[in-house]
Structure 1
Amino acid sequence: MTYGYLLVTMNVSDPERYKQYMAEAPNAVKAFGGEYLVRGGQHETLEGEWNPHRIAVLRFPSYDKAKAFYHDEQYQQIRQKRLGATDYFHMVVVEGYEA
């Protein structure tokens, strides 16, 4: 079984409100066996015109676990705390590659 990844780009417009979301989101991620691989940090565009403000990458034991995390009632409640704290928040789930 291959890992499942959540790739997230966002622009935080209300840092204080976003802190409320980030105080609770990591525990929900852990509950599904997930972990943060990237959580902000330095980045630069090397090709193309993509220029996200902030990037996060989360890894889960499987694609299905990543989706289950997102659709879980606990995360959906936590997600409400993020609403209004970002100008945009894009999230995609992708199946990892197993050579």
Structure 2
Amino acid sequence: MSTPAYMLVEMNITDPERYKEYMARAPLAVKAHGGEYLVRGGRHETLEGDWKPHRVAMLRFPSYEQAKAFYDAEQYVQARSYRAGATEYFNMVLVEGVSAPV
């Protein structure tokens, strides 16, 4: 069993209409690489520190390698081109998860 990996994303969408084009394509690329959305927007609040993201997303992939393959895949490269100009910022971090004890 491989260790899952997670993508944490914070963004500020400034052009919702243009961003819809990205969201029509990105989930197909995520699914093609075994990923799934765990969080995509929704209610949130900062509990500690000064981090104040406008919008947060979190994705899970079966492995770090599959997450990297998703990010580098032509399908997602094309999806990202639709995001250009639709956000003030889009920060993404990939982190390896922990293996659950058996």
Tell me which interval the TM-score lies in, with the shorter structure as reference length. Answer: over 0.9
State the match for 1:60 in structure 2. Answer: 61
Identical-residue share of aligned pairs (%): 70
> Secondary structure of the residue that 1:58 maps to in structure 2?
strand
> Secondary structure of the residue that 2:53 maps to in structure 1?
coil
Rounded to whole Å, the distance in 2 between the matches of 1:45 and 1:81 is: 29
Q: By how many angstroms is 1:39 displaced?
A: 0.2
Rounded to whole Å, the distance in 1 between the matches of 2:75 and 2:21 is: 14
Structure 2: which 5+ residue stretches go unaligned? none
Alignment deviations for residues 44-96 of structure 1 (CA, whole Å, 9 cap, x no partner)? 00000000000000000101100110001110011000000000000010000
Structure 1: which 5+ residue stretches go unaligned? none
TM (norm. structure 2) is 0.95
State the match for 1:38 in structure 2. Answer: 39
Aligned Cα root-mean-square deviation (Å):
0.6
State the match for 1:77 in structure 2. Answer: 78
Rounded to whole Å, the distance in 2 between the matches of 1:93 and 1:62 is: 11
State the match for 2:28 in structure 1. Answer: 27
Large movers: runs of 4+ above 4 Å: none
Alignment deviations for residues 17-60 of structure 1 (CA, whole Å, 9 cap, x no partner)? 00000011111100000000000000000000000000000000
Rounded to whole Å, the distance in 2 between the matches of 1:19 and 1:78 is: 11
Q: By how many angstroms is 1:6 displaced?
A: 0.7
Q: How many residues align?
A: 99
| Residues 1:16 and 2:17 aligned together | yes
